[in-house]
Every structure is written in C-alpha cells, then in structure tokens.
Amino acid sequence: MKILVLNSGSSSLKYQVIDMQTEEMLAKGYFERIGQPNSFLTHKVNGVAHKFEHPAKNHEKAINFVLNRLTNENYGVLKDLGELAGIGHRVVHGGEKFSDSVIITNEVIEEIKKCSDLAPLHNPACILGIEACKKIVPNMPMVAVFDTAFHQTIAEDKYMYPIPYKYYKRYAVRKYGFHGTSHQYVSGRVAEIMGKDIKELKIVNCHLGQGCSVCAIKDGKSVETSMGLTPLRRNSNGN
C-alpha cells in the first residue's frame, strides 16, 4: 500500500510517497513560492534531486504538477494514481474536536475551518491543499492528521489558563499543544529501542526544529507540553 503525505503551507507544499508495507520513502519534494513569480519544485527520487521551474498560481496547480511528476516515466514512482491507497494531510490545529486522525469529509473540513482563528497561518493553507486534492482526485480517500490530537489527553487543570473562564467558553482559549505527531512517534520509538512497553515508561520529549516544544508523556499519553493556544511563535527579539 502506497500513500501520499502532504503538508500544505500558505505558499509552499511538502510531500512524500511512502510504501507502507516496507516503510520505505519512495519520493519526496518541496514546492516553493506557490502563487508567486518564479515558483519551483524540488523533487527527490532514488537519492537524486530534480529541480523544475514551473508556474503554480495556486495549490491546485502545484499539486497537479506534483502528481504528474510522481507518475512521470523519468521521475515518477507510480505507474498511475491508482497505486495510491490514499492521501494524508498534516493539519496543525484540530481544537477540541479531534483526538485522533480522521477520514476527511465535508463536515471535517468545516471543523478545520472553525479552528483557523487559532492557527491563521496554518489551517487555511491545509484547507487549500485538501480542496485542491478533492478537485484533482475526487474519489481518493483522504485522512487528516492533527498536530494537536496527541495532546487531548492532557488534564483540564493543566490545559486551562488562570484567566476568566468566559474566555475559554467564548473564544476557546486554552492550552492545546503542538508537534503531536512528532512527540507520539518519538516516544513510541524510545519504547521500541528500550524494548519496553510504552505504558511502563515516563518520557520527556524535546521537539527541536523551526518550532520547538517539550512534552511529558506517561503511559504513552501526553500529560503536559510547553506549547499553548496557537502554533504562532515569537521571533528572536521576543516580539
């Protein structure tokens, strides 16, 4: 079974094709400057990177070009799109609605839109990617994987802020936590490497990248994390 994983940004698109039987990454790429002049795709397959300068005025055009590369005789890893079992979309904010990955339906899309105020730089871009895929491959199963889902096990006394309760009821102001897919995977690998049941371990994960967070994990579940309401972060000057 092969799947395509997409991570849609406001003007970018990252992707991987993974063979789930062998857990091998068959291809990966990064489309940059979508909707801007001089947009281009860096497509890597068999350890070789290929750069394509290609105009993409929106995500639909970008995804369509990516799918063409993936099925291309010279650069592709698929005979046709029928080889794909589905498409996975990384979605940053699922609010309180989603505690696990879900099949994408129109109702799910509406719920993701409702969380856009909490992730204004991320969720709208995710929706662009989802909507583009619906147009290009309308019958393809799609799954949303949420950065916040893993942290829905955090207790109320940990996720509630010491501010008037009306702000939680009115505006959903609370701690949500992010990088959940990373924290969940890394903690699982820690248990695997140690040869222990994750339910017997207490783990502190550090996710270090363009965004950073720390997560306390007990019995395989997130119990505390350092990121809060949104994935927006301050710059180096603290502004």
Relative to beta strand 13-19, strand 2-8 is antiparallel
CATH number of the domain bearing residue 82: 3.30.420.40
Given a contact cutoff of 8 angstroms between Cβ atoms, the answer to whether 89 and 145 are in contact is yes
**Residue 239: is its pLDDT beyond 50?**
no
Same domain assignment for residues 183 and 197: yes
d(CA 126, CA 5): 12
For 59-80, the pLDDT digits (tens) are: 999 999 999 999 999 999 999 9
Does 61 share its domain with 170?
A: no
* Token digits of residue 141: 């199963």
pLDDT digits (tens, 9 = 90+) for 185-234: 999 999 999 999 999 999 999 999 878 999 999 999 999 999 999 886 54
Give the ranges where the chain is alpha helix by DSSP (H).
Answer: 59-70, 106-114, 123-136, 156-159, 166-171, 180-194
* Type of residue numbered 155: A
Coarse DSSP helix, strand, coil percentages of the chain, rounded to the nearest 5 percent: 30, 30, 40
Question: Residues in the chain, how many?
Answer: 239
Q: How many domains does the chain have?
A: 2
Alpha helices in 43-93 (DSSP H): 59-70
Predicted pLDDT of residue 233:
53
Average pLDDT value for residue range 30-47: 96
171 domain-assigned:
yes
pTM (2 d.p.): 0.91
Residue 95 and residue 67 share a domain: yes
| Residues 47 and 113 both lie in one domain | yes
Enclosing domain of residue 28 = 1-146
Please write the tens of the pLDDT for every residue from 168-196. 999 999 999 999 999 999 999 999 999 99
The residues near 59 (Cβ < 8 Å, ≥ 6 apart) are 8, 13, 34, 125, 128, 129, 131, 132
Q: Which one of the listed residues 19, 80, 147, 197 is annotated catalytic? A: 147
The SS3 assignment for 149 reads: helix
User: What is the model's pLDDT at position 230?
Assistant: 86
Q: Do 8 and 51 fall into the same domain?
A: yes
147 catalytically annotated:
yes
Output the CA torsion 20→187→210→61 (10° steps): 20
